[in-house]
Amino acid sequence: MMQIREVASEVKCYHCDDLCRDEPILFDNKNFCCTGCKTIYELFQDDELKDLYEVRNKSNPHLDGKFDFLKSEKIANDLHSFLSDNHNVISLSLPDIHCSACVYILENLNDFNSGVIQTKVNFARRSAQVHYNPQQITLTDLAALLSSIGYPPAFHADTKEKPTKKRNHRLSIQIGVAAFCFGNIMLLSFPEYLGIKEGMSHSFDRFFNYLNLALVLPSVFYAGRGYFISAYKGFTQGFINIDVPIALGMLILFVRSSYEIISATGAGYMDSLAGLIFFLLIGKWFQSRTYENLSFDRDYKSYFPLAVLQIIDNEEVATPIQQLKKGDHILIRNQEIVPADAILLSDEANIDYSFVTGEERTTRVKKGAQIFAGGRQVGAKIQLSITKATSQSYLTSLWNNDTFKQEKTSLSLEDKISKYFTGIILLITIVAAVYWYFYNPTMIWLVTTSVLIVACPCALALSAPFTHGNTLRILGRNKFYLKSADVAERLTEVNTIVFDKTGTITTADNGEANQWIDNISEFDQRILKSMTANSTHPLSQKIHLLLGKVIEVELQNFQELVGKGIEADYQGKRYSLGSALWTLGHQAEEGQAFFTVDGHLISSFQMHNSYRSGLQSMMQGLSSQYDLQLLSGDNAAEEGTLKKMIPELSQMIFGQKPNDKLAHVKSIQQSDSKVLMLGDGLNDAGALSQSDVGIAVAEDVSSFSPACDAIIEGSIFTKLGDFLRYLRGARHIIIASFVISFLYNIVGLSFAVTGHLTPVFAAVLMPLSSITVVVFTTLAGNLWAEKLNL
């Protein structure tokens, strides 16, 4: 049996004590998760920082030319946020930041190069703002310096489109203003609450009331203006949303209270009004929690490079990919991405389309062949001639589809109810008005305004935001991140779930080479390792990885035959690794590789997908409620296995291109189904966008994920069923809290129609109903989560 080195799965970093994500870095017999941690360890051993840098920089020859495109002034100017003779400011995305050691290293960048004036890291966004002196260090050198200490800055085609995304501050300020007004009005209303009238002159009364009136103005017209605007918009579109009754209630409260104060007939309900606005804004804030380190709207531009090398008059010039035209000649180096559809000018290229198709397989193409945008060159550098601009290319044209321009909207539960709610309230108001017209006409004004005030659906408007806000938090804690509360609502309506295969129901490393014929000698292992070292085929690379520390030997006559395999001579014997037909002369299952010497079998390897554990039980759980389907970009090799493993799948379609996936989702939707799509790559982007809810599955949530409505971490993917159950329960919680707020409304209305609504009563009842609803939704949501073990 071949001894395979155990790939370290749970190694803790010596410095930061985090689990190592990738292969740990071994230094001084200790494991480190990143270069940053290793560097900081070294720093603690030796304080000679500059010496250290000298040593480190020499050991990075691979950086040659990688950041040359930053020398182009046009490109560099777009990236900076401030430029001057001796002080430039640039925001750099540094995806490798992941622990506090990284922050330390980067903020002390000045120790490495005195040209850096200051660095400020934003940990959550994995970015850093660097101030530097262009006289002492160029941007290219800065990028190389960052790379050399382990933080290569990421430059993508969308980098300059959102230099520094300023968060919207308005809501925070509105809440501040509303809280200020609410608190002060409450204090000034105390004499009114407690009935302290005696001993106070009339002028105090009036002073307090007018102060209240002055304080409520910013609350209503600044903090609460969003509700008026939204109600007006809804109204002009002939649609009564939840903001219509809210705005109506606020307006009536304001008009009646102002009237009472100015006419000196009463104290008004300014406290209730300010409280209402404050609570509503808090609800809004609670619901609008965003995940700063996640991005839900990435497209191909986040994956494509910022610039490529264009060949103009035999000179290499860095050109932004947006400026590439048909006929331009470009140079693509190893591991670089082809930015636009092109024709190959070099003799041969080896293109990995895994990002486009989802299938991990490199394709060898010959001179003159068409190469599609999104492919990654593996091997020597190649020359290409562009045939289509980037935005018109095959893969990227997916984003020209209308589905990316439409916003997914759905009518929220409270909006559905508000139409009836508003109708009923108006009806009650009219009935009460008619009654009092005959009974005591002087009361009409008092009663009608009281009804509208008390019926203001503040509790109704709070139940959904607080339930959704709580849901977002609980799911976020479980590593399932929703883009907005709206998504939570849409998720309860889906009835069809479509899965992508590779990377979604299989783990991202996409299988392992399983070696099933034993007795492979150390001698053969060494030959095998040397052979696979030279091949770019995914299976070869996996085998190479499996062999670990085996020492390589020198081979003769190595060659790789497309579609067949690799072969080489060693000590006069011919070794081959490849398909059954080619090595042994007979057919075998797909995805197998055979290792032979002079035609005799030594060993065979099976590449198989490793499915996520717990997948079967999850599918079983889901199948009772949802129609389950599978869409894969891969070939049908796994169909049999899948059929046996997940009999619940109603459809399995293989060989799907990005556009096919989009079309398939569309066709399901046409039969009035609501589709939930789960995918992981750019090839699923169309389908994710077209579906009612698109969830991206990511192994590491801060790495690339296509545009979607939610991101789920791969490790908890199989809990999807529980999440959906939780969301359905949350909907019931909202409905229950609607009932509670209606009950309060009935009590309040019975006081209002009989003309007994006093300011104190309103001031108690309205916050009380809001608080009841908030407490109920939060408690119920948490209990429900506990029950489902979330």
Chain residues that interact with another protein, rule: CB under 8 A: 100, 103-104, 107-108, 120-125, 167, 169, 172-173, 176-177, 180, 183-184, 188, 201, 204, 207, 211
Please report how close the Cβ of residue 53 comes to another protein at its closest, in angstroms. Answer: 16
Contact (Cβ atoms closer than 8 angstroms) between residue 341 and residue 372? yes
Helices (H) and strands (E) in the chain, counts: 25, 28
The string of DSSP codes covering 232-283 is HHHHHTT---THHHHHHHHHHHHHHHHHHHHTTS---SHHHHHHHHHHHHHH
Q: Considering beta carbons, is residue 182 or 704 the nearer one to another protein?
A: 182
Cα(106)–Cα(97) distance, integer angstroms: 9
Q: Considering beta carbons, is residue 178 or 498 the nearer one to another protein?
A: 178
Cα of first residue to Cα of last residue in the chain, in angstroms, is 43
Q: In what order do the strands lie in the sheet with 116-122?
A: 80-82, 88-93, 127-132, 116-122
Please report the beta strands in 609-763, taking only residues with DSSP state E, as ranges in sequence order: 627-631, 651-653, 675-679, 693-698, 710-713
The string of DSSP codes covering 156-182 is BTTGGGSSS-PPP-HHHHHHHHHHHHH
Q: Considering beta carbons, is residue 200 or 430 the nearer one to another protein?
A: 200
Contact (Cβ atoms closer than 8 angstroms) between residue 119 and residue 145? no
Please report how close the Cβ of residue 130 comes to another protein at its closest, in angstroms. Answer: 14
Please report how close the Cβ of residue 86 comes to another protein at its closest, in angstroms. Answer: 23
Task: Kindly give, in sequence order, each residue whose CB lies less than 8 Å from that of residue 555, ignoring residues fewer than 6 positions away.
Answer: 527, 530, 531, 568, 569, 570, 575
Q: Considering beta carbons, is residue 292 or 509 the nearer one to another protein?
A: 292
Q: Considering beta carbons, is residue 195 or 585 the nearer one to another protein?
A: 195
Query: What does the CA dihedral 436, 438, 443, 447 come to, rounded to 10 degrees?
Result: 20
Cα(188)–Cα(270) distance, integer angstroms: 10
Please report how close the Cβ of residue 292 comes to another protein at its closest, in angstroms. Answer: 8
3-state secondary structure of 577: strand
How crowded is residue 50: how many other Cβ atoms within 10 Å of its Cβ?
11
Q: Considering beta carbons, is residue 40 or 749 the nearer one to another protein?
A: 40
Please report how close the Cβ of residue 168 comes to another protein at its closest, in angstroms. Answer: 11
Angle of helix 458-477 relative to helix 413-439, nearest 10 degrees, comes to 160
Please report how close the Cβ of residue 176 comes to another protein at its closest, in angstroms. Answer: 5
Q: Considering beta carbons, is residue 114 or 650 the nearer one to another protein?
A: 114
Contact (Cβ atoms closer than 8 angstroms) between residue 613 and residue 530? no
Q: Considering beta carbons, is residue 125 or 333 the nearer one to another protein?
A: 125
Q: Considering beta carbons, is residue 125 or 364 the nearer one to another protein?
A: 125
Q: Considering beta carbons, is residue 207 or 439 the nearer one to another protein?
A: 207
Cα(318)–Cα(79) distance, integer angstroms: 15
Please report how close the Cβ of residue 251 comes to another protein at its closest, in angstroms. Answer: 25
Please report how close the Cβ of residue 272 comes to another protein at its closest, in angstroms. Answer: 20
Please report how close the Cβ of residue 97 comes to another protein at its closest, in angstroms. Answer: 10
Please report how close the Cβ of residue 203 comes to another protein at its closest, in angstroms. Answer: 8
Please report how close the Cβ of residue 539 comes to another protein at its closest, in angstroms. Answer: 42
3-state secondary structure of 322: helix
Residue identified by tokens 């925001």 is 91
Give Cα separations from 116 to 54, 222, 427, 456 (angstroms): 16, 43, 70, 58
DSSP state letter for 305: B
Query: What does the CA dihedral 502, 391, 335, 6 come to, rounded to 10 degrees?
Result: -20
Q: Is 203 exposed, middle or buried (0-12, 13-18, 19+ CB in 10 A)?
A: exposed
Q: Considering beta carbons, is residue 216 or 453 the nearer one to another protein?
A: 216
Q: Considering beta carbons, is residue 140 or 287 the nearer one to another protein?
A: 287
Please report how close the Cβ of residue 185 comes to another protein at its closest, in angstroms. Answer: 11
Q: Considering beta carbons, is residue 111 or 316 the nearer one to another protein?
A: 111
User: Pairing relation of β-strands 512-515 and 600-608?
Assistant: antiparallel
Please report how close the Cβ of residue 75 comes to another protein at its closest, in angstroms. Answer: 27
Task: Kindly give, in sequence order, each residue whose CB lies less than 8 Å from that of residue 140, ignoring residues fewer than 6 positions away.
Answer: 67, 68, 70, 71
Please report how close the Cβ of residue 180 comes to another protein at its closest, in angstroms. Answer: 5
Please report how close the Cβ of residue 100 comes to another protein at its closest, in angstroms. Answer: 4
Contact (Cβ atoms closer than 8 angstroms) between residue 685 and residue 631? no
Residue type, position 584, single letter: L
Please report how close the Cβ of residue 24 comes to another protein at its closest, in angstroms. Answer: 22
DSSP state letter for 599: T
Cα(293)–Cα(290) distance, integer angstroms: 9
The DSSP H or E segment spanning 370 is strand 370-371
Please report how close the Cβ of residue 183 comes to another protein at its closest, in angstroms. Answer: 8
Q: Considering beta carbons, is residue 180 or 751 the nearer one to another protein?
A: 180
Q: Considering beta carbons, is residue 122 or 288 the nearer one to another protein?
A: 122
Please report how close the Cβ of residue 518 comes to another protein at its closest, in angstroms. Answer: 50
Sign of CA dihedral 9, 15, 18, 23: negative
Q: Considering beta carbons, is residue 82 or 207 the nearer one to another protein?
A: 207
Closest by CA to 703, choosing from 724, 677, 682, 676, is 682
557-584 b/e (C-beta count within 10 Å ≥ 16 → b): ebebeeeebbbbebeeeebbbbbbebbb
Q: Considering beta carbons, is residue 122 or 133 the nearer one to another protein?
A: 122
Q: Residue 367: what are its φ and ψ, rounded to 5°?
A: -50, 135
Q: Considering beta carbons, is residue 267 or 373 the nearer one to another protein?
A: 267
Closest by CA to 627, choosing from 492, 491, 494, 728, is 494
Closest by CA to 684, choosing from 641, 759, 634, 735, is 634
